[in-house]
Amino acid sequence: DVKVTQSSRYLVKRTGEKVFLECVQDMDHENMFWYRQDPGLGLRLIYFSYDVKMKEKGDIPEGYSVSREKKERFSLILESASTNQTSMYLCASSFVGPTGNTIYFGEGSWLTVV
Protein backbone atom coordinates (compact mmCIF):
# COMPACT_ATOMS: atom_id res chain seq x y z
CA ASP A 1 0.00 0.00 0.00
CA VAL A 2 1.17 3.47 -0.86
CA LYS A 3 1.59 5.63 2.20
CA VAL A 4 1.64 9.41 2.00
CA THR A 5 1.90 10.99 5.42
CA GLN A 6 1.21 14.62 6.20
CA SER A 7 2.69 15.65 9.51
CA SER A 8 -0.07 17.94 10.73
CA ARG A 9 -3.80 17.31 10.33
CA TYR A 10 -5.06 20.54 11.85
CA LEU A 11 -3.24 23.84 12.24
CA VAL A 12 -4.25 27.32 13.29
CA LYS A 13 -1.82 30.09 12.42
CA ARG A 14 -1.85 33.86 12.62
CA THR A 15 -1.70 36.18 9.64
CA GLY A 16 1.90 36.86 8.70
CA GLU A 17 3.31 33.69 10.25
CA LYS A 18 5.59 31.40 8.29
CA VAL A 19 3.97 27.99 7.93
CA PHE A 20 5.55 24.66 7.03
CA LEU A 21 3.52 21.70 5.88
CA GLU A 22 5.51 18.49 5.70
CA CYS A 23 4.83 15.41 3.64
CA VAL A 24 6.59 12.04 3.40
CA GLN A 25 5.94 9.13 1.02
CA ASP A 26 7.29 5.62 1.36
CA MET A 27 6.95 4.28 -2.19
CA ASP A 28 10.05 5.78 -3.77
CA HIS A 29 7.88 7.79 -6.16
CA GLU A 30 9.61 10.34 -8.36
CA ASN A 31 6.75 12.81 -8.37
CA MET A 32 5.26 14.69 -5.47
CA PHE A 33 2.54 17.33 -5.39
CA TRP A 34 0.80 19.87 -3.23
CA TYR A 35 -2.86 20.61 -3.91
CA ARG A 36 -5.40 22.66 -2.06
CA GLN A 37 -9.08 21.89 -1.97
CA ASP A 38 -11.73 24.57 -1.60
CA PRO A 39 -15.52 24.21 -1.87
CA GLY A 40 -16.71 24.64 -5.45
CA LEU A 41 -13.17 24.87 -6.80
CA GLY A 42 -12.08 21.26 -6.67
CA LEU A 43 -8.42 20.37 -6.26
CA ARG A 44 -5.98 22.97 -7.50
CA LEU A 45 -2.31 22.27 -8.00
CA ILE A 46 0.06 24.57 -6.11
CA TYR A 47 3.47 23.05 -6.89
CA PHE A 48 4.88 19.75 -7.97
CA SER A 49 8.28 18.11 -8.05
CA TYR A 50 9.50 15.39 -10.39
CA ASP A 51 12.88 14.88 -8.75
CA VAL A 52 14.97 15.91 -5.77
CA LYS A 53 15.62 19.64 -5.79
CA MET A 54 13.39 20.04 -8.86
CA LYS A 55 10.12 21.89 -8.67
CA GLU A 56 7.55 23.35 -11.00
CA LYS A 57 4.75 25.80 -10.43
CA GLY A 58 1.24 24.52 -10.63
CA ASP A 59 -1.87 26.56 -11.26
CA ILE A 60 -1.88 28.65 -8.07
CA PRO A 61 1.73 29.04 -6.80
CA GLU A 62 1.42 32.63 -5.57
CA GLY A 63 2.13 32.94 -1.86
CA TYR A 64 3.71 29.49 -1.64
CA SER A 65 7.11 27.89 -2.03
CA VAL A 66 8.29 24.28 -1.78
CA SER A 67 11.35 22.30 -0.85
CA ARG A 68 12.41 18.83 -1.87
CA GLU A 69 15.80 17.95 -0.41
CA LYS A 70 15.14 14.21 -0.25
CA LYS A 71 13.14 12.01 -2.58
CA GLU A 72 10.64 10.97 0.06
CA ARG A 73 9.95 14.40 1.51
CA PHE A 74 8.18 17.40 0.01
CA SER A 75 7.48 20.52 2.06
CA LEU A 76 5.05 23.33 1.36
CA ILE A 77 5.95 26.73 2.79
CA LEU A 78 3.70 29.70 3.28
CA GLU A 79 6.16 32.56 3.71
CA SER A 80 3.60 34.92 5.23
CA ALA A 81 0.24 33.29 5.86
CA SER A 82 -2.89 35.15 4.87
CA THR A 83 -6.54 34.45 5.60
CA ASN A 84 -7.22 33.49 1.96
CA GLN A 85 -4.83 30.59 2.46
CA THR A 86 -7.24 28.96 4.90
CA SER A 87 -7.91 25.66 3.18
CA MET A 88 -7.39 21.92 3.11
CA TYR A 89 -3.94 21.08 1.78
CA LEU A 90 -3.30 17.75 0.16
CA CYS A 91 0.06 16.19 -0.51
CA ALA A 92 0.37 13.42 -3.09
CA SER A 93 2.93 11.26 -4.82
CA SER A 94 3.01 9.26 -8.02
CA PHE A 95 5.04 7.56 -10.67
CA VAL A 96 4.16 7.53 -14.34
CA GLY A 97 3.33 3.96 -15.34
CA PRO A 98 2.95 2.49 -18.83
CA THR A 99 -0.63 3.65 -19.18
CA GLY A 100 -0.56 6.84 -17.18
CA ASN A 101 0.00 8.60 -13.93
CA THR A 102 -1.92 7.66 -10.78
CA ILE A 103 -1.62 10.02 -7.87
CA TYR A 104 -1.93 8.84 -4.27
CA PHE A 105 -2.96 11.36 -1.66
CA GLY A 106 -2.25 11.88 2.00
CA GLU A 107 -4.98 12.48 4.58
CA GLY A 108 -4.87 16.24 4.21
CA SER A 109 -3.95 19.16 6.46
CA TRP A 110 -6.59 21.64 7.51
CA LEU A 111 -5.01 25.08 7.85
CA THR A 112 -6.88 27.99 9.38
CA VAL A 113 -5.26 31.42 9.22
CA VAL A 114 -6.72 33.93 11.66
Partner 1 sequence: DQQVKQNSPSLSVQEGRISILNCDYTNSMFDYFLWYKKYPAEGPTFLISISSIKDKNEDGRFTVFLNKSAKHLSLHIVPSQPGDSAVYFCAASARNTGTASKLTFGTGTRLQVTL
CB of 7 to partner 1, least distance (A): 14
Scanning residues 8 to 47, which ones bind partner 1 (CB under 8 A)?
30-31, 35, 40-45
* Residue 1 binds to partner 1 (criterion: CB under 8 A): no
* Residue 104 binds to partner 1 (criterion: CB under 8 A): yes
Among 58, 60, 67, 73, binds partner 1 (CB under 8 A): 58
Strand boundaries in 1-114, DSSP class E = 4-6, 10-13, 19-21, 23-25, 31-38, 42-51, 54-57, 65-70, 73-78, 87-96, 101-105, 109-113
Sign of CA dihedral 85, 44, 47, 9: positive
Contact residues for partner 1, defined by CB under 8 A: 4, 30-31, 35, 40-45, 48, 50, 58, 90, 92, 94, 96, 99-108, 110
